[in-house]
Amino acid sequence: MDQRAWERVPIEAQSVDAPLSRAAVFLVLEVREGEAALAQIREVLGAVGDLVKNVGFRDLGGRLSCVVGIGAELWDRLSPGARPAELHPFTPIRGPVHSAPSTPGDLLFHLRAEREDMTFELERQLLDQIGDAARVIDETVGFRYFDARDLLGFVDGTANPVGAELPEAALIADGDFAGGSYVVVQKYVHDMAGWAALSTERQEAIMGRTKLDNIELDDDGAPQLSHKSLATIEDETGGELAILRDNMPFGRPGAGEFGTYFIGYAGRLWVIEQMLERMFVGVPEGAYDRLLDFSTALTGSTFFVPTVAMLEALAEPPAAAAQPPADSSLGIGSLRD
């Protein structure tokens, strides 16, 4: 097969496994009350695939992709009665020193491309179609920083699953929602001066990797586990339960803003929740992730990522609810059923 076959078509919407990109936009929206807003959102959900093609086809090498996530409350409005098993709003965590807040979010758009103009243009067209059916809660524009480093200077994303491990970690394996995914986002801002005041050795101990060449450090059984170890979850047989991360740096040096936008996809939401619990509460309790002394979570929201087929089904209003019988006295409704 032609090695450049991927270039023939834009990347399909909902490709959780789209390649890590140079540019990204994270857009979190809250949908307004009422049926009119909901109908508009259904239309947009049905149009996302075409919008990605509209913009993506203009430069296939730009590898534009778009993943839409749906929050628990909006899910119940769109599809009453059948909620993905683990979907619920982000559970806030209060650690001994730091907290992870839960913030509103009905829709997440995760846009990725090799070119910032492409993510910009897709975001513009999406918001144009959404109109006043939703309001923007947060818009973060991320960029790839040198060799995939976060703004704290460490290479971020190395332990991501690859090959067959990727869908295993990121997608729901079975049931009605198989092929979908859960996604958690958190916007962190860093205390850059505080971090810079630490020695490189101390920074490395906090992260669990060397800074220059990204080599993993062993802290098994140490009283203070590194970020890498706190974020490692194992099943009962000792196998690692991975998640798929695509964190992006963002910032405005002129405003003193320096951050990391955390985004994690998983087929089992509880894996991400357990990582957060270990980071904020600590293992043992109190020995929390020292990365948090220099990183403050401003937001926290959880979404379900439907497959393309599920997205298309959501675009259609539920038949029974949308079409009351024209004249129920004739019993036409029951014939329709």
Write the burial class of residue 166 (CB in 10 Å: 0-12 exposed, 13-18 middle, 19+ buried): middle
Residue closer to ligand HEM by CB (options 41, 141) is 141
Amino acid (1-letter code) at residue 224: Q
How far apart are CB 150 and ligand HEM at their closest, in Å? Answer: 4
152 binds ligand HEM (CB under 6 A): yes
**Contact present, 311 and 195 (Cβ < 8 Å):** no
Residue nearest to ligand HEM (CB): 159
129 binds ligand HEM (CB under 6 A): no
**Contact present, 127 and 32 (Cβ < 8 Å):** no
Identify the residue among 227, 241, 299, 303 touching ligand HEM (CB under 6 A). 227
Q: Which helix (H) or strand (E) holds 137?
A: strand 134-143
Q: For ligand HEM, which stretch binds (CB under 6 A), given 49-57, 124-132, 155-163, 172-180?
A: 155-163
288 binds ligand HEM (CB under 6 A): no
112 binds ligand HEM (CB under 6 A): no
Q: For ligand HEM, which stretch binds (CB under 6 A), given 9-17, 47-55, 174-182, 260-268?
A: 260-268
48 binds ligand HEM (CB under 6 A): no
Distance between CA 232 and CA 238 in Å, rounded?
A: 11
Instruction: Describe the chain by its helix, strand, coil percentages, rounded to 5.
Output: 35, 25, 45
Distance between CA 110 and CA 143 in Å, rounded?
A: 13
Q: Which of residues 175-214 bind ligand HEM (CB under 6 A)?
A: 186, 188, 207, 209
Known catalytic membership, residue 156 = yes
Write the DSSP symbol of residue 280.
H
How far apart are CB 141 and ligand HEM at their closest, in Å? Answer: 17
Alpha-carbon dihedral 291, 292, 293, 296, rounded to 10 degrees: 130
Identify the residue among 65, 140, 295, 307 touching ligand HEM (CB under 6 A). 295
Q: For ligand HEM, which stretch binds (CB under 6 A), given 105-113, 166-174, 269-277, 311-319?
A: 269-277
Amino acid (1-letter code) at residue 105: G
How far apart are CB 283 and ligand HEM at their closest, in Å? Answer: 14
How far apart are CB 216 and ligand HEM at their closest, in Å? Answer: 7
Using the CB atoms, write b or e for 86-117: b if 16+ within 10 Å.
Answer: bbbbbeebebeebebebbbbbbbbbbbbbbbe
**Contact present, 14 and 305 (Cβ < 8 Å):** yes
272 binds ligand HEM (CB under 6 A): yes
276 binds ligand HEM (CB under 6 A): yes
Distance between CA 63 and CA 157 in Å, rounded?
A: 19
Q: Active-site residue among 106, 156, 246, 289?
A: 156
How far apart are CB 29 and ligand HEM at their closest, in Å? Answer: 22
How far apart are CB 92 and ligand HEM at their closest, in Å? Answer: 14
Distance between CA 308 and CA 68 in Å, rounded?
A: 10
Identify the residue among 46, 89, 92, 157 touching ligand HEM (CB under 6 A). 157
Q: Which two tokens stand for residue 311?
A: 């997205």
**Contact present, 336 and 325 (Cβ < 8 Å):** yes
Q: Which residues lie near ligand HEM (CB under 6 A)?
A: 150, 152, 154, 156-159, 186, 188, 207, 209, 227-228, 231-232, 243, 245, 260, 262, 264, 272, 275-276, 291, 295
